[in-house]
Structure 1
Amino acid sequence: MATITTISESVGANRIVPTIAIPYPVGNPKLSKGDEHTLRKAIVKKALDALTTEITEPTQFE
């Protein structure tokens, strides 16, 4: 999970999941509590899916 995906690419990360913003990588304080929970759950699920996906080259999971 990375806020600045270009840095992750430059250091050779093999699985990259983009996040929201530097101070709030997996959240958005402007959302309601329920909406933020839904957002966080979706980002973490995407990261878990990335870990279980077979890849052959560095991959960014949108």
Structure 2
Amino acid sequence: MTKEIEKAGITIVQMANLIPIAKTVGANRMVPTISIPYPLGDPSTPKEEQWKLRHHRVGVALDALATEIEEQTVFKVKI
């Protein structure tokens, strides 16, 4: 789906935990997430830690939107 959205001229970032699959389907900008059931969080951690994690990942995704790329790119995130 990301490929079709980009064909329409809209820049998009794929946030995914399965980066190899995102690459295979043609995503250009990818940001790794945590897991399938909780892509942007970990319910076993305190709420403050979850917020920091989410804030960071969304920030990386926003930076990815503003970055010119020539090929498929996986943007780095803090662990």
Query: Where on the TM-score scale, by shorter chain, does this alignment land: which range?
Result: over 0.9
> What is the RMSD of the two structures over their aligned residues, measured on CA atoms?
0.6
Aligned mate of 2:62, from 36, 48, 59: 48
Alpha-carbon deviations, 1:16-43, whole Å to 9, x = none?
0000000000011111011100110000
Q: Which runs of 4+ in 1 moved over 3 A?
A: none
Aligned mate of 2:47, from 11, 16, 33: 33
**Scaled by the length of structure 2, what TM-score is found?**
0.76
Paired residues in the alignment total: 62
Structure 1 unaligned runs (5+)? Answer: none
* SS, match of residue 17 in structure 1: strand
More strand by share: 2
- The structure having more radius of gyration, on CA atoms, is 2
Say which structure, 1 or 2, has more relative contact order (CA 8 Å, 6+ apart).
1
Aligned mate of 1:11, from 25, 29, 37: 25
